[in-house]
Structure 1
Amino acid sequence: MGKSILHITNGDITTEYLKRLNFTGDFITWREMLCEGKTTTDVGSEKFWKTRFDYLKTSYNVSKEKFIDFTLKEYRTLCSKKSNDEIVLWFDYDLFCQINMIAVISWLKRYRKGRQISLINSGKIIESQKLKGISELSENQIQEHFKNRIALSQDDIEYADYIWQLYCSESPLRLETVHKFNPMSPFKHLHNALEAHLKRFPSIENGLDKVENIIIQTANKYDLNSKDALVRKLLKEQGIYGFGDIQYFNYLERMQKAFTSFNPVKLSRKGKKALENQSNFYGDLRSEKIYLGGAKKYSFLYNNSSNKILQITT
């Protein structure tokens, strides 16, 4: 009898793709976006899920019924899978997936101790300059990735869990350096994802984070006739972030002062001045309720010149 495998994937598209390719084993789809909103270290606890539901309800108007049906039922199915010989993690290279991945590993460290955990390192394809997500790979490429999956050592698992603990801490300062000192890590994309995470704190230059700056740059560069067109362009060119359309619409809702119109897309005078760092949106956007992991977003600033995080003292 062959080994019993549990596949934990980054989304429904990947799960359905692997099933179509006749991968054997059990499947769990991790339906969360832990790269946004407050997180706590104790993945799967009552406190953890309450924190996540409060965020999703407030920011995305997610109902309790949807949260239970979409996320919690799948998590409970994961809890019931206790006898698999190997757990294979299918997560992409982007920030969205990498944060979910380290959270899942933290959970596995606590609740599936001693189990073989393997990692699919998606992204790099020999014949392509562009990194590719799992769902963009051909059947042969996916089979090759699966064959070359990496068995995580206990040290690897401890390292991923440690990064998750830091991500959930009240300060992002230690993330600046700790992820750079593990050159042998099998987590090939975590370094870039964490750097992208740190750039989501507001810039000292104009009060906008990296994503917000990309939004106004895109709006200024292209002749776009609607908010939908702007979001489609952002999705196409976003690279490392891996966001969905609802996340960009959420950004635009908060950034209304940067625009005079979305039909067509037009920047406001202040939005245009921010392109040259001649205006600052920190005061317009600041909120005590916005978290990135465990840190309050507007308690820190990102210095683009030094690539350092600065803590705001009150």
Structure 2
Amino acid sequence: MSKIIHVLNGDSSVQLLKESGLEGEIAVWRELLCEGALHTDFASDDFWKKRYTYFKEELGVDRLEYYDKTIKEILKIEDISGLDEVVLWFEYDLFCQINLLAACSYLLKDFRKDVKLSLVCVGRVKGKENLQALTDFSPKDFVELYKNRLNLSKSNLIFAEECWKLYAENDVEKLKNFNFRNPKFQYLQAAINQHLKRFPTENGLNEIQQKIIEIINSKALTENEIVRELLIWQQTETVYGFGDVQYILELKKLQDFYTIKDAKYFVTTKAKKLLTIE
């Protein structure tokens, strides 16, 4: 029997893979590398120090919990000797694409010619108007996705590592000028283009922050209602792929631009002037 490990970007698709009947162990990638301080050398001591600090200070997750839930899963692919294949299961959005780059960079550290590396990355599906996530597929579909997986070569991993380092460095001009297009990573360029919209515009706000203020200005909403509006917006107009956590963090950064009364948010005069909202 082949020794296979499936690396899934998050817990939501774990049960689907289990029900598919595909053999192999599962590792769940629970990092959210689209947020927080990074180091270009993934999984180095300096990298983990930055992530420990971010999870503790921003998300309230202590070191032990972060290690148990996140690092231990990633360490499952630290040494792939003895395996026949590592399968990466990721999606089209920015959240997933950055995690995918990091996973490839990590696998490059212990690259072995005798271990097959492959990728299932979902998004566009013939006959479907919207981009598809892994949870849009059935367990039976997972078998077909696996059959059609892409092989990843060492050169593919080297490309991904270069992209990872550029993202971690986060120099806007370097990101704009680098060609992220690659047939094995077909959704990467669009994801980076989306990331570039997270840099401040002339008014000092990025795309997400401006959208938040526009939503608050449209009607009185609670925090949960604002987040729900953002999730609806991203499904049709963006490829961020963010969850509640990312949007709540962005909301907290805008405290000078809103007031809260009876749990409802209202924009301030400063916000109206900044976005020239009538």
The question of a shared fold, defined as TM-score above 0.5 by the shorter chain, is answered with yes
Q: Quote the Cα distance in structure 2 between the aligned partners of 1:264 and 1:168.
A: 36
Alignment of 1:134-173 (within 5 A): 134-169=134-169, 171-173=171-173
Partner of 2:208: 211
- Structure 2 unaligned spans of 5+: none
CA contact (8 A) 1:224 1:230 kept: no
1:235 corresponds, among 221, 228, 231, to 231
Q: Report the alpha carbon displacement of residue 49 of structure 1 after superposing the two structures with TM.
A: 0.8
Alignment of 1:102-113 (within 5 A): 102-113=101-112
Partner of 2:186: 188
Q: Quote the Cα distance in structure 1 between the aligned partners of 2:205 and 2:277.
A: 10
CA contact (8 A) 1:32 1:71 kept: yes
Q: Which region of structure 1 is more displaced relative to structure 2, 253-262 or 19-28?
A: 253-262
- The size of the alignment, in residue pairs, is 273
1:202 corresponds, among 200, 203, 206, to 200
Taking structure 1 as reference, are residues 170 and 125 closer, same or farther at Cα in structure 2, changes over 3 Å only? closer
CA contact (8 A) 2:4 2:23 kept: yes
Instruction: State, as a whole percentage, how many aligned pairs show the same letter.
Output: 36
* AA matched with 1:215: I
Q: Quote the Cα distance in structure 1 between the aligned partners of 2:72 and 2:156.
A: 29
Q: Report the alpha carbon displacement of residue 228 of structure 1 after superposing the two structures with TM.
A: 0.8
CA contact (8 A) 2:42 2:106 kept: yes
Q: Quote the Cα distance in structure 2 between the aligned partners of 1:128 and 1:271.
A: 38
- Secondary structure of 1:32's partner? coil
Alignment of 1:300-311 (within 5 A): none
CA contact (8 A) 1:82 1:112 kept: no
TM-score, with structure 2 as normaliser: 0.90
1:256-303 Cα distance to aligned partner (Å, 9 max, x none)? 11112263232112222233389xxxxxxxxxxxxxxxxxxxxxxxxx
- Greater than 3 Å deviation, 4+ residue runs: none
Alignment of 1:2-151 (within 5 A): 3-79=2-78, 81-114=80-113, 115-151=115-151
TM-score, with structure 1 as normaliser: 0.81
Partner of 1:265: 265
CA contact (8 A) 2:6 2:25 kept: yes
Give RMSD over aligned pairs: 2.0
Q: Report the alpha carbon displacement of residue 28 of structure 1 after superposing the two structures with TM.
A: 0.6
Taking structure 1 as reference, are residues 195 and 170 closer, same or farther at Cα in structure 2, changes over 3 Å only? closer
- Secondary structure of 1:31's partner? coil
Taking structure 1 as reference, are residues 224 and 17 closer, same or farther at Cα in structure 2, changes over 3 Å only? farther
- Secondary structure of 1:168's partner? helix
Q: Report the alpha carbon displacement of residue 141 of structure 1 after superposing the two structures with TM.
A: 3.2
- Structure 1 unaligned spans of 5+: 279-314
